């Protein structure tokens, strides 16, 4: 004869149920029924105090609780305690359908109420409903926690953004104030060349301020989704080779354009915005590579399976530490690199947002400091 034994996984997948019942025979009967219904019945207990101890120790999936129990505590109080302390569902099993008791039981927010006498079907339905309700409640609570965390993160980001804006505005303003004061108070003491220098510094800092304000307002509008793109059907191969011709003119032999595309590729594109994306990436590559060894490559590929076009812009410059590869797409993040004069750190966050609005993406890769960087753009190809 073959004896069928339960596998470990079968035992583990069974729900553990604790019966709290002061009448031994009834407790035994319920436990037997639980086993025959496919649950794992833990050793029953007869008082609320013991129930709390066992719940703490065994962490059952469900407690079936009689209302009248041995000891000081009744089933309702014990259920309240178990719910508050352990977040484990309790269903009442009782012969009492008295209005007052029902009202009191309701306050313990039970996951079910099974009236004695009950048959196996009633018991199974009550248990499954209680387990399901609890699972749902856990999911809702997790979701609420997530929403709350997202809210807090957003608030932190908003505050950080405002602080950064104030900080970025302050530095050119201080310079402007200082030099205009100098011109106002001591113009007659300054030589022609010094006055010229002051005016240049004023102009540069005012231009910096102007760029900053335009970038901030663009970023804010694009992040809020109130930034209208004027997309049109663009043939990307031609667009890129025209663009790369102007980079070639500027960068001569330190720039290379590689494309494996021989056919036309149509993309829905806001030309000006996309131009802004490429310009920032090329500008970043220039700023972060030494002039003498500079090599900037723009490579275009068709990702046929995913119906995407991929543009990689790589350089052999300062490189980026892996911990910063995501961070640089956040507004105002600028890293200290060997070569670059500090920018405002808005360029890449604008790129990210512009590409997102084109259903595309941008990512950064680098083998580490001093080992160059590669920025990869992906854009969906239009069907026709």
Ligand X SMILES: Nc1ncnc2c1ncn2[C@@H]1O[C@H](COP(=O)(O)OP(=O)(O)OP(=O)(O)O)[C@@H](O)[C@H]1O
Whether 81 contacts 52, CB under 8 Å: yes
Q: Which stretch binds ligand X (CB under 6 A): 23-31, 142-150, 175-183, 281-289?
A: 281-289
Q: Which does 46 bind (CB under 5 to 8 A by kind): ligand X, Mg ion, none?
A: none
Figure out which of the listed residues 328, 354, 355, 377 binds ligand X, where binding follows CB under 6 A. 328
Q: How far apart are CA 257 and CA 278, in angstroms?
A: 13
List binders of ligand X among 211-270 (CB under 6 A).
215
Site string for ligand X, 176-215 (x = CB under 6 A): ---------------------------------------x
Beta bridge partners of 303: 308
Figure out which of the listed residues 94, 280, 316, 353 binds ligand X, where binding follows CB under 6 A. 280
Q: How far is the CB of 273 from ligand X (least distance, A)?
A: 14
Q: Which stretch binds Mg ion (CB under 5 A): 9-17, 304-312, 339-347, 371-379?
A: 339-347
Name the helix (H) or strand (E) containing 235.
Answer: strand 232-235
Q: How far apart are CA 86 and CA 51, in angstroms?
A: 12
Residue 200: count other Cβ atoms within 10 Å of its Cβ: 11
Figure out which of the listed residues 46, 94, 280, 316 binds Mg ion, where binding follows CB under 5 A. 280
Nearest to 62 by CA among 39, 96, 37: 39
Figure out which of the listed residues 73, 88, 114, 318 binds ligand X, where binding follows CB under 6 A. 318
Ramachandran assignment for 311, one of left (phi > 0), alpha (psi -120 to 50 degrees), beta (any other): beta
284 binds Mg ion (CB under 5 A): yes
Pair of tokens at residue 314: 């790589």
278 binds ligand X (CB under 6 A): no
Nearest to 30 by CA among 110, 85, 95: 95
Q: Terminus-to-terminus CA distance in the chain, angstroms?
A: 70
Site string for Mg ion, 296-335 (x = CB under 5 A): ----------------------------------------
Q: Which does 333 bind (CB under 5 to 8 A by kind): Mg ion, ligand X, none?
A: ligand X
Pair of tokens at residue 333: 């993040």
Q: How far is the CB of 289 from ligand X (least distance, A)?
A: 7
Figure out which of the listed residues 347, 377, 378, 379 binds Mg ion, where binding follows CB under 5 A. 347
Q: How far is the CB of 223 from ligand X (least distance, A)?
A: 14
172 binds ligand X (CB under 6 A): no
Q: Which does 345 bind (CB under 5 to 8 A by kind): ligand X, Mg ion, none?
A: ligand X
Angle subtended by helix axes 271-287 and 236-251, to nearest 10 = 30
Helix, strand, coil shares of the chain as percentages rounded to 5?
55, 15, 30
119's CB contacts (< 8 A; 6+ apart) are: none
Q: Which does 288 bind (CB under 5 to 8 A by kind): Mg ion, ligand X, none?
A: ligand X
């Amino acid at each position: 004869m073959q004896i069928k034994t339960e596998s470990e996984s079968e035992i583990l997948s069974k729900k553990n149920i604790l019966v709290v019942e002061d009448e031994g025979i009834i407790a035994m009967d319920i436990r037997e029924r639980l086993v025959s219904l496919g649950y794992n019945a833990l050793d029953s207990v007869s008082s609320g105090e013991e129930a709390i101890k066992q719940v703490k120790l065994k962490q059952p999936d469900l407690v079936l609780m009689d209302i009248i129990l041995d000891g000081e505590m009744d089933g309702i109080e014990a259920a309240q305690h178990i719910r508050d302390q352990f977040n484990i569902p309790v269903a009442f099993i009782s012969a009492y359908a008295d209005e007052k008791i029902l009202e009191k039981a309701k306050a313990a927010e039970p996951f079910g109420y099974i009236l004695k006498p009950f048959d196996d079907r009633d018991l199974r339905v009550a248990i499954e409903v209680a387990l399901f309700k609890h699972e749902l409640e856990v999911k809702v609570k997790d979701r609420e926690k997530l929403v709350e965390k997202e809210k807090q993160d957003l608030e932190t980001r908003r505050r950080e953004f405002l602080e950064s804006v104030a900080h970025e505005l302050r530095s050119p303003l201080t310079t402007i104030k200082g030099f205009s004061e100098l011109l106002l108070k001591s113009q007659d003491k300054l030589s022609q060349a010094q006055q010229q220098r002051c005016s240049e510094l004023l102009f540069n800092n005012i231009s910096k301020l102007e760029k900053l304000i335009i970038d901030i307002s663009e970023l804010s509008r694009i992040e809020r989704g109130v930034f209208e793109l004027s997309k049109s059907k663009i043939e990307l191969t031609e667009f890129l080779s025209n663009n790369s011709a102007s980079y070639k003119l500027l960068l001569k032999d330190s720039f290379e354009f590689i494309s494996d595309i021989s056919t036309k590729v149509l993309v829905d594109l806001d030309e000006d915005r996309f131009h802004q994306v490429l310009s920032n990436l090329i500008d970043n590559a220039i700023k972060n590579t030494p002039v003498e060894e500079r090599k900037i490559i723009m490579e275009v590929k068709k990702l046929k399976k995913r119906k995407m076009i991929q543009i990689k812009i790589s350089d052999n410059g300062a490189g980026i530490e892996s911990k910063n590869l995501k961070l640089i797409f956040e507004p105002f993040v600028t890293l200290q690199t060997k070569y670059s004069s500090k920018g405002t750190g808005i360029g890449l966050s604008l790129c990210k947002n512009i590409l997102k609005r084109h259903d595309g993406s941008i990512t950064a890769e680098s083998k580490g400091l001093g080992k160059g960087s590669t920025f990869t753009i992906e854009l969906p190809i239009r069907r026709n």
